[in-house]
Amino acid sequence: MFHKEGFRIITVTFLAVVAVVISADHYISSLWMSKGIQIVALVFLILVLQFFRNPKRTALESKTQIIAPADGKIVIIKEVNEPEYFQDKRLQVSIFMSPLNVHVTRYPATGEIKFSKYHPGKYLVAWHPKSSELNERTTIVIDHQTYGSILYRQIAGAVARRIVNYAKIGDKAIQGHDAGFIKFGSRIDLFLPLGTPLRVGLNERVKGGITIISSS
């Protein structure tokens, strides 16, 4: 199953690979070179297909839990000042998504969307400490009945060139449901109230819509 954001790219890539495979057979006399080009083209198609995969996951909607908004590895857990929306100290939990991870973004909690804003920016590597402030990004805030306001931020990386965000102010976010997509490598930051009990640790790998980040 593939994400709808990848349909156009998958179609174009498939047609291009078919053209390359046929052309290699007809126009390249060297057998090993022809087969080499065809193999490279097929590998590229496989990489595009795996990037846009969208595994079906049934998240258990909970009023007392926050779940991972994306697949990846926990690279930051620390108290920081969040300057854009809260303008005070929050607990930051960051998930790095490599190009091999599923890149679907899922709502970490259920609640009303109070804030949703896109910021153009740079394309520093996603693990750069300033990427949360300088890179292309979107900021979304969900009003949760147990945790209060929860902020998550989609951040483009050095390879990512497009962030898709479905969150609109006033809409209801449903925990675990599709919230967007980031194309080709990125990061997700969660900003939670200070003192939020965590169920994850640094360098732990998480699955979007499945792994519990916090349970109160």
Residues carrying an active site annotation:
186
Phi-psi region of 197 (alpha: psi -120 to 50; beta: other; left: phi over 0): beta
Q: Which residues are bridge partners to 214 per DSSP?
A: 66, 198
* Secondary-structure breakdown of the chain: helix, strand, coil percentages, each rounded to the nearest 5: 25, 40, 40
Q: d(Cα 42, Cα 209) in Å, to the nearest integer?
A: 31
Q: How far apart are the first and last CA of the chain?
A: 34
DSSP SS3 for 133: helix
The beta-strand segments (E) located in the chain are: 65-67, 72-82, 88-97, 104-106, 111-119, 137-144, 148-156, 162-165, 172-173, 178-183, 186-192, 205-206, 212-215
